[in-house]
Structure 1
Amino acid sequence: MKQHEADHILMSVPAKPEYVGVIRLTVSGIANRAGFTYDDIEDMKIAVAEACTNVVNHAYEESGMMNVSYLLYENRMEIIVADSGQSFDVAKVKDHLGPVDASRPVGDLKEGGLGLFLISTLMDKVEINDESGIVLVMTKFLHGDEVEQDVSEIQQTQPEQ
């Protein structure tokens, strides 16, 4: 797989509480297949559930749809939650992303801000586009091999006693 190519899985579900669990299960299945650790998968499930719950609670006065995209790269997974029922061009949305600033006081964050704060602590990178509706891009990197290599390097560099 080339560096810039990704497997793209797209779900479009009604913005209703009963579908949040379906999205959590999907995240779990895809992340497990990609080789993420149990802890990383749990973090992703909480983050995506929080993002979807924000859509369910705040995006629509009546009913609507939410789109969830999973982009699977060699070294990471990006989960995109959008509250617009219309399909969207991932590349175009990514051109207009900005960071979620988790260091700002919780009171300064937008409605659902505590959820964004939680999401930003669970994921490696979180970006938002709020030009027309909300598009939240959450990234989790595959750390498995890197961690093992770092551990062995630390063990080798420690002085003998």
Structure 2
Amino acid sequence: MKQHEADHIQMSVPAKPEYVGVVRLTVSGIANRAGFSYDDIEDMKIAVAEACTNVVTHAYEDSGTMNISYFLYDNRLEIVVADKGQSFDVTEVRGHLGPLDVSRPVADLKEGGLGLFLISTLMDKVELSNESGIVLVMTKFLHGDEVEQDVDGFSETQPEQ
């Protein structure tokens, strides 16, 4: 039985500050199309900007490329930001991913650690691999059923007529 595949959008941009906004706009468009709330979209825009800023600041001495992949599933959006200009196979990289340990003191985190801490608070799941460059996978789940639960709660307290 074949697992449901995601829509995959991939982009490579120069690791320069002026392209971070392009990546932010892209995640905003994809997340909006998928039906995410305004607040979730804003969280994703900040998280992806932090991830890209880390690449711009730390990944290259001269110039390089950021590879950003968006995997849109029925219930979530996974955003992958990778540096070192290497194209990558996410299924292969997944074997090397580990959860970001935010229980450690912020000072113990890698370069850009405060950014990683912020990303982990904005996203539902964050995984990191530092084999052959940094690969950061950020996941935001689509919480569409919360609205229905809230609506049911409000319908019970209708005013008397």
Normalising to structure 2: TM-score of the pair?
Answer: 0.91
What is the CA deviation profile of residues 83-103 of structure 1, one whole-angstrom value per residue up to 9, with x for unaligned ones?
Answer: 021210011011211000112
Q: How many residues align?
A: 156
The one-letter code sitting in structure 2 at the alignment partner of 1:80 is: V
Aligned alpha-carbon RMSD (Å)? 1.6
| Alignment match, 1:133 | 133
The answer to whether the 8 Å contact 2:125/2:140 transfers is yes
Displacement of 1:69 in angstroms is 0.1
> How many Å separate the matches in 1 of 2:66 and 2:125?
21
The answer to whether the 8 Å contact 1:76/1:140 transfers is yes
Displacement of 1:4 in angstroms is 3.1
| Alignment match, 1:14 | 14
Q: State the secondary structure of the residue aligned to 1:78.
A: strand
The one-letter code sitting in structure 2 at the alignment partner of 1:48 is: V
> How many Å separate the matches in 2 of 1:62 and 1:13?
15
| Alignment match, 1:65 | 65
> How many Å separate the matches in 2 of 1:135 and 1:19?
18
Normalising to structure 1: TM-score of the pair?
Answer: 0.91
The one-letter code sitting in structure 1 at the alignment partner of 2:87 is: S
Displacement of 1:148 in angstroms is 1.8
What is the CA deviation profile of residues 21-79 of structure 1, one whole-angstrom value per residue up to 9, with x for unaligned ones?
Answer: 00000000010001000000000000000000000000001100010000000000000
The answer to whether the 8 Å contact 2:60/2:84 transfers is no
Q: State the secondary structure of the residue aligned to 1:60.
A: coil
Unpaired segments ≥5 residues, structure 1: none
The answer to whether the 8 Å contact 1:65/1:83 transfers is yes
| Alignment match, 2:149 | 150
Displacement of 1:123 in angstroms is 0.2
Q: State the secondary structure of the residue aligned to 2:110.
A: coil
Q: State the secondary structure of the residue aligned to 1:67.
A: strand
> How many Å separate the matches in 1 of 2:3 and 2:146?
21
The one-letter code sitting in structure 1 at the alignment partner of 2:15 is: A
